[in-house]
Amino acid sequence: MAVKQIEIVTSLAYNTTLIADVVFTGAAFDLAVRRVNRNYAGFLNVSVTFLYNASLQNCPDVSAQNAAMLAEYYFRRTNRETCYALVTSPCTDEAGIWSLANGKFDPTTEFSDPEGEASTAVAVGGTLIGYGRIVLDILTYFAWYHVSILVDTNALSVFYRNLANLLLDQRELLASARPRANNQTFNFLLYSLDMTSNSSINTVVTLAKQKSRGSELKPSLVNL
């Protein structure tokens, strides 16, 4: 049986402060590729190609070059024997290639089953529910029962804001899928703050510490 060639092509930006940027995720791609190649040697040969311009540090500039880089790679460097997996940047404009998967993935669900006009496009990624469960696992491990969540109101990405709202709205549902000692429950308080204002930061952090302090527990502060 011939070894299947798989190439992951990512157009993620290098460093625009988004959590998906290569500066944060590149090592994880490399590690995953090495592990897959080790575990499936003789069956799969996976590689990863990073398409980015490190000098671009904001989404409009990244978006402007993204389609051109992908098009050039597709027409000049691909071959018929290789299966390609495309990872696009959150910066990519919605009228461009990102629209292939736009609307096909709901981050509040566990999976995506795209249908309709783009039946060959599959949108996958970490879900807010999955991230929420990880947060609760950490809280359970350290026996934190009362948690203050601080959210930057001026943050470019809405990821943390959405995650915080999910934790508040569905904390019991999320926790029900995880074993908890002594029927552990969680009390969440959400605080919004302006990270550009020192007085706002000091006020919210002080209040959060007061509310999250218990007789047997250390202050429980989760910065989201």
Q: Are 137 and 186 in contact (CB under 8 A)?
A: no
Mean pLDDT of 6-27: 88
Residues 6+ apart with CB under 8 A from 58: 16
More confident residue, 29 or 127: 29
Q: Spell out the residues 6+ positions from residue 14 whose beta carbon is closer than 8 angstroms to its own.
A: 21, 22, 23, 52, 53, 54, 56
Which is more confident, 224 or 10?
10
Percent of the chain with pLDDT over 90: 17
Q: Are 186 and 145 in contact (CB under 8 A)?
A: yes
pLDDT given at position 207? 77
Q: Which two tokens stand for residue 74?
A: 């597709």
- 124 to each of 19, 88, 105, 106, 113, how far by Cα in Å? 16, 11, 7, 9, 9
Beta strands in the chain (DSSP E): 4-10, 44-50, 82-87, 146-152, 187-193, 221-223
The set of residues, in sequence order, having a beta carbon less than 8 Å from that of 41 and lying 6+ positions away, is: none
CA 121 to chain centroid: 19
User: What pLDDT band is residue 101 in, cutting at 50, 70 and 90?
Assistant: very low
Find where tokens 């997996």 sit.
85
Across 68-72, average pLDDT: 87
pLDDT recorded at residue 171: 67
Provide mean pLDDT across the span 66-85.
Answer: 87
Cα dist from 61 to 10, 58, 120, whole Å: 17, 6, 28
* pLDDT, tens digit (0-9, with 9 covering 90-100), for 173-183: 665 655 555 55
pTM flag (> 0.75): no
User: Mean pLDDT, to the nearest integer, of 29-55?
Assistant: 93
Q: Which residues pair with 190 in a beta bridge?
A: 149
The gap from C-alpha 128 to its chain's centroid, in whole angstroms, comes to 8
- Amino acid type, 99: S
